[in-house]
């Protein structure tokens, strides 16, 4: 089977991570894959913010738990690395550009046997004062929305479950 297709077909969201930090080289190649994603008009107005500090991750999870009424165990599934993908609020392609970058990172992580999961809670609460304080401390520009977060880490368990494919494809020739 084609390696690219095999990587796409075997990628799954990971929701249980080992308490072990990724190697710097692994994070760098995952971020590099994101940077090479397509962007509308090649504007590349995104910023990738890598967060590996456990206290910062917990502080962010705590604020999300409070604002979005998440249960007390919410913690990005215990991922030791978060890559926050933000984009200029005025970029009409910001969500699409960020989504392409995240998918590239998820596929690269899968190819390295590293687990990943899309976290999307921040997109609607970036302007909240408590959230913005954390984003400011991480030097995420004031005019950026965090469209998604790649939660990354070594898988605590293997997810061998097949994805249920429910999309519709129609051909007109």
Q: What is the CATH number of the domain that holds 60?
A: 3.40.109.10
Output the pLDDT for position 161. 67
* Structural domains counted in the chain: 1
Average pLDDT over residues 11-26: 96
In the chain, at which residue ranges do the beta strands (DSSP E only) sit? 46-51, 81-88, 115-119, 144-153
Q: How confident is the model at residue 170 (pLDDT cuts 50, 70, 90)?
A: confident
Q: pLDDT-based confidence at 157, cuts 50/70/90?
A: confident
Q: How many CB atoms lie within 10 A of CB 8?
A: 13
The answer to whether residue 94 is domain-embedded is: yes
pLDDT tens-digit map of 114-152: 999 999 999 999 999 999 999 999 999 999 999 999 999
Residue 96 lies inside a defined structural domain of this protein: yes
* Cα distances (Å, whole numbers) of residue 154 to 2, 17, 27, 112, 151: 25, 6, 12, 10, 10
Q: Quickly state the pLDDT bin for 160 (edges 50, 70, 90).
A: low
Question: Does a structural domain hold residue 59?
Answer: yes
Any domain includes 78? yes
Host domain of residue 75: 3-153
Q: Is 7 among the domain residues? A: yes
Would residue 20 count as lying in a domain?
Answer: yes
- Contacts of residue 58, Cβ cutoff 8 Å, sequence gap at least 6: 75
Residue 63, domain member (yes or no): yes
Domain membership of residue 172 (yes or no) is no
């Amino acid at each position: 089977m084609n390696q690219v297709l095999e990587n796409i077909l075997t990628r799954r969201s990971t929701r249980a991570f080992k308490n072990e930090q990724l190697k710097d080289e692994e994070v760098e190649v995952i971020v590099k894959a994101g940077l090479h994603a397509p962007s509308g008009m090649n504007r590349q107005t995104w910023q990738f913010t890598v967060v590996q500090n456990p206290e910062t991750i917990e502080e962010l999870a705590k604020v999300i738990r409070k604002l979005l009424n998440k249960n007390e165990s919410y913690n990005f599934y215990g991922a030791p690395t978060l890559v926050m993908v933000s984009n200029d609020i005025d970029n009409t392609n910001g969500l699409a550009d960020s989504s392409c970058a995240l998918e590239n990172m998820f596929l690269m992580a899968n190819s390295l046997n590293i687990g990943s999961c899309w976290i999307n809670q921040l997109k609607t609460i970036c302007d909240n004062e408590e959230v913005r304080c954390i984003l400011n401390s991480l030097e995420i520009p004031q005019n950026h929305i965090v469209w998604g977060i790649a939660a990354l880490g070594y898988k605590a368990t293997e997810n061998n479950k097949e994805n249920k494919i429910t999309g519709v494809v129609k051909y007109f020739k």
